[in-house]
Structure formats: C-alpha cells, structure tokens
Structure 1
Amino acid sequence: MKLLITGGAGFIGSAVVRQAIAAGHAVVNLDALTYAACLDNVASVADHPEYAFEHADIRDRAALDRIFARHAPDAVMHLAAESHVDRSIDGPGAFVETNVTGTYTLLEAARGYWTEAGRPAHFRFHHISTDEVFGSLGPEGRFTEDTPYDPRSPYSASKAASDHLVRAWFHTYGLPVVLSNCSNNYGPHHFPEKLIPVIILGALAGRPLPIYGDGSNVRDWLYVEDHAEALLLVLSRGAPGESYNIGGENERSNLELVRTLCAILDAKRPKPSGSYADQITFVADRPGHDARYAIDPARIARELGWRPSVTLDEGLERTVQWYLDNEAWWRALQSRQGVGTRLGVGAVSDPHRGTVSGANRRSPEE
C-alpha cells in the first residue's frame, strides 16, 4: 500500500513513517518543515527505495493536486498540525489556518483525487486527532468515542473543528474516512519544548524543573511507537466513518511523572550530589489548564485487537536513554523559535511581527 503521510517529519508522523516502511508500505512524506519538523527524524529511511519526500503546505491546493497525481496514494494519513497548546494561546490564528483550513484543503484535494480515480473502495483518509477535543475529566471516568466534544484551548478547538470536517466529508460526499483520537504521546524524537524532553534536558543542564500549578494535572501517556502501530492498524482494518480512541492506559500526574524522570536520571547519570528532583520548582499555571485526560481504548482492543505494549516506566526509561544517546539531535533544535521560552501566559500576538512571549522562563509543555 502507498501511503501519503502529512507531517511525516514531526514527532508522531516520523514514527509512523519509520514503522510504515518497516511494515513494507511505500511512503510519501508531505511536510511543510515548520519549526517542529526535523528531517533527521526520518534519516533512517531517507534512502529507502519506497520512500519519497514532498516539501509542501497542506493549505496549498495546487501543490496537493500535483502530489496526488504524481504519487497516486492508496491512503492518506493526516498528522500535519499545529499541536502546542501554549503556542495556541499566544497565536491562535496559525492553528486555525493549519488545523482547520489545512484539513479542509487536504480533504478537498483527496476527494478530487478519489473521485477522478473512480471512487475506489479501498481508498482511506485517516485523520489523526487528540483526546483534548473532549475537554477535561474529573477524578473518575475516561473518554470514549461517544464522549461529547468540549475543547478548552485554541489548539483543541481547532482540532475539534478538523474532526467535524472529516466526518462531514464522509456523510456528505462518501469519502471513506477513519478517525482516531490519542492520549499524550512521548518517546524518541519528541520536540524539546514538550514536557518530558523539557524535564530531561533541563535536569541535565542544572536548570529549575518548572511544573504548572501544583502538578496535580493528570495525563494518560502513550509511547509513540505503540501509537504508530495502532494508527497503521486503524488505517488497514478500521471501518469507514468510525472513530477509534488510542490510549496508553498509563495515567500519571505531572508531578509524579517529573519525579519518575528524575529518578531515572539519578540512576543513569547521577549528579555529584543530591537528586535531580531537587531542581523541581512550581510556576504559575497555564490559562484553562485541563485537570485530567484519560482514554478508554476498549473499542480498538475489542474490534481490532490492539493494546499498548510499552508500560510507562519502561517507555520513560527508553526515552531518557535516547536523549542521553542523541545529544546532537536535541542540541540542534534548541535554537529554534520559542524553544526554551515560556509561552501561553498572556502574550500579545501581532500578526505582522509574530508572537511576543509574556515571560522568559523555561516551562513544561504537554
């Protein structure tokens, strides 16, 4: 099967690219190479005969039409998105442009290609989304595919809008789509502004390890390679029009997570004295910070036979080791715009000058 994967130079997208090639698929990686993209993420498959790269923006309809015509994919896996909650607070326009307008443009290009090809039954458009569209949970319960949407940030609102567009294209035009909503991903190649790499790299640098609020916010963590495996399964075996929640079944509060990372670092690269946990500090909370996310993956387990294979403790140990072994990768990304600067604290966004942060502290990001 030939897959057109959007956002394939990003964190999750590159894991899907690598795993798809390993599984014997041909892959066309379409990426605009914005600030969070890194072609080093797919260096291991760059010379593979079944891999091709297209530098293009999903908002560019003419480019999309050329790419569909040139490569004739059997399926689209749509991962390209602006995904950073704090950046969405400072500059929501980019999230609407990419996640809403971009998804619309890609849907229309895919529909045109599919229609011209005679509406083949095997074609699939797989839209990859987030659990954040469901809002915030209390101490009990988990998100299911039937949970009402209740997005709380510009990021999650833009992803909710894109989910609705994909479903509308299925019901109105018959485009054979599948959807999936995942919990928080982590693992190798995670961009350095996200929570887990922020803590690992900040600990190694001897900086304070900032935690929003009191650290009680809970997330369900999913190892990125488990997620990539699930996405390929949903693509190949998911029913058109259906949605599948993909969760790691690994809930942990932010404070517990940070303490676990510090303990792993204490064992793998001990400080001359004390623990990395001594660097933990608490900072002002993010506006509208959701209290808890948790995915119920019963449908994908029941219908497709998938369950996560990597425990959180195992995955965190693998992740820490990867960052210790790949310093050249993360050092090259630390100079990119916004990395190492706290975002999402009431910054003013000027469309002509970009986003000006309201503070200059490193911060944990989900």
Structure 2
Amino acid sequence: MAAASPATAAVPRIKLGSQGLEVSAQGLGCMGMSAFYGPPKPEPDMVALIHHAVAAGVTLLDTSDMYGPHTNEVLLGKALQGGVRDKVELATKFGVVLADGEFEIRGDPAYVRAACEGSLRRLGVDCVDLYYQHRIDKKVPIELTIGELKKLVEEGKIKYIGLSEASASTIRRAHAVHPITAVQLEWSLWSRDVEEDIIPTCRELGIGIVAYSPLGRGFFSSGAKFVDSLSAQDYRKHLPRFQPGNLEKNAEIFERVNAMAARKGCTPSQLALAWVHHQGSDVCPIPGTTKIENFNQNVAALSVKLTPEEMAELESYASTDDVQGDRYLQMGSTWKDSETPPLSSWKTE
C-alpha cells in the first residue's frame, strides 16, 4: 500500500546537537546523484529533486568533497542558487583524498583549511552550516584537526563541527577542544553496533546523531532482487553483505521486514526508515535517492508509527548473528579503527 504524499503533513524540525542547529527531522543524502551508485545522474533532474525536497520540508542536504570527487558539491552549488541557500542547512565533509587511485585520509590543519575553502568555492557559499571530518586521520592528533576547525568557526566559514565514523574516545577528545554538534554514522536495522558505545557517548555529550544508509544502501527497498538491478559501476555490487551466500541469508531478514510492512500498510523501506526515526528526537536519518517518487516514499515514513512491541519485533529480525557480512570491503577507516596519536606525542617541525 502506498503511503501518503509528503504534502499531506509538514516535516518536523529537530534540534541537532546542543549549539543551536535546527534541521528537518529527515535529511537528503546527495552522494548517489554523482558518485559510487552507478553513473552520475542528469544534472537538471537532480537539481529538480533537490528543489522538490526543500519544498517538501527536507532541508538538511548532505554532501562531501569526495563525492565525484567534487562534482556533487558543484551540483549542490547550482541547486542552491535563486534563493534556495537561505532555506537549507548545508552539510559537507572533508578528509578523504583520492590520490593515484587510492583513498588517503587527511586531517592536518593546512589540509583542513584548504579543503574548506575548496568546498565553499564549489558550493558557491560564504559559510557551511555543518562541516564534518569525513574519516579520521590516524596520523594526526584529533585535537589539531578540531583546533583548525575551531578557527574556521571563529572566522565565520563554518557554523558547526561534525565527525563521521569516529570512535567514542575520538569523539570525547574532539568535543573537549570545541563542541561537536553532530556525529554521522551508519545506523539501520542491520547496522546496530554503534548502539553499544557511540550512541550513548553522543547522548551524554549532547551531540546530535545523523544516520547514513538508514535503508541498508537500498537493500530494504526490495531485498535481494535490488542487487540484481544495480549497474556494473555501482560499488554496492562488491559489498560483503551483497555477495552470494551472505545475500541469501540477509534476504531472509528482508522477507520478515516485508511481511511486517504489509501488515502495517507501508513499504518495507518506510518501515526500516521509521525504525530509525523512532530511535529519538536527536536522530536525523539522511536517506539518499535520485528519484522524486522514492523521495516521497521516504518522507512518508515519518507518518509510520511503531509500538515498543513492533520495534522489538523488527530488531529481532536483524540481530548481529543474523546479518551476514561487514558493512564495507575493508572495515579500516571506520569508527572501529579511528584512534589518533595523543597530542603530547606530536612533534612540531
């Protein structure tokens, strides 16, 4: 059963973090418009989708300088023209550099500043609302990276600081230098290991939580057959959870979610997204899409209500033992591997 159009209800607003940032309760992940999920999509269509999202009340737009690289920021810059910029909360990221075909992680102060200035130029703005360190540079004390971001806040080039895929201890060290407004992490029905340590740390410190891939990178839209529809250039075809053996086992999780969605009168993706929304008013999922009809379905998930019993039932479908395969081909450069040297060990030249 199709859920209601987003036009039937306003998208709620939430406080993200403790420093004053207010965003739509659901954001829009823009990566797939330009990178990683197959060929780049037609620019006019993507600009129209972004404008549709903003008109519907989804105003937190999420990008990164590595998407493309750079082309997704350029796309958003075009979409923000004509008075749109003042209606959105703009989030971008730095720290992942493509060099000689390999990804390098950088958090040194000089690079932080250069990356920010590059993003501002491509986006065509004077200031970014939320600026994340996309991945943690294990070579540089986190205090030095955040120290440079603090200077950018003081200069008015960014408003709020965020981290992505950071461990609890890294978050604490960063927050001691300058308040962290949001931590972006993968959180969905089948990616729940962040609940043990990272989510409680964020809540203790008053840090907002931004959940990326809340639909399991599209898996909860249609299960195993979703993988068959991916283009040859789509990197999801190579992820461990979508490989033969793992995929068949994980498909059983989808079938249970799908059956419950049928009982609830919603789609399985709406049910999976509603589960994330029910985690709390400090959580903002940012499902990505390249189609207006899928966007409308995602927004309608805000209307799906779940009882504590239904939440527990959903969670029982996708326990850690049930989910087969890691999130990434290599789990390096995630929060499980994000410790940086102590500041006391840093030698200045």
Normalising by structure 2, we get a TM-score of: 0.33
- Which structure is higher in RCO with an 8 Å CA cutoff and minimum separation 6? 2
